Amino acid sequence: MTALDQIALAASQCVFALLSKIRTTAETGSVITRDHAVGILIKLGTRKQYAKACFPLLIEQLKNCPNNQLPMYAEMSLAVATDKNKAALHKTIARRMDRLEKETQRKRVLKVLKRLTSGPES
């Protein structure tokens, strides 16, 4: 998964062809495996031809990831935020706020939510 994450942009077509396997592996693998799977989804999601397929998978990861991973994944998701999907990202991430135990996690997620509503200059 680490290798696929590293080459996701350079060999996006090949990595995209493995998306189903990547998804399955992320669900059953370690935290590091999931981290790299999210990295792959983000990288592929920045490519116009793969964004539509990768975005729902990213949302699924944001909904189901461990609480301690949410801030990092939320921050990473800003790379694929567009005018069309910002609301869905915001809604998905905001729904998890009440489950975050640490103040530092909440602060990081609040910064992401603010950027999703006001833009990158915030």
Give the pLDDT confidence score for residue 122 in this predicted structure.
Answer: 42
- Residues of the domain holding 94: 2-118
Angle between helices 48-64 and 70-77 (to 10 degrees): 160
pLDDT at 118: 80
Count of domains forming the chain: 1
Mean pLDDT in runs of 10 for the chain (122 residues)? 97 97 94 97 97 97 95 97 95 95 96 86 45
State the pLDDT at residue 48: 95
- Confidence (pLDDT) at 120: 53
* Burial (CB count within 10 angstroms: exposed 0-12, middle 13-18, buried 19+), residue 106: middle
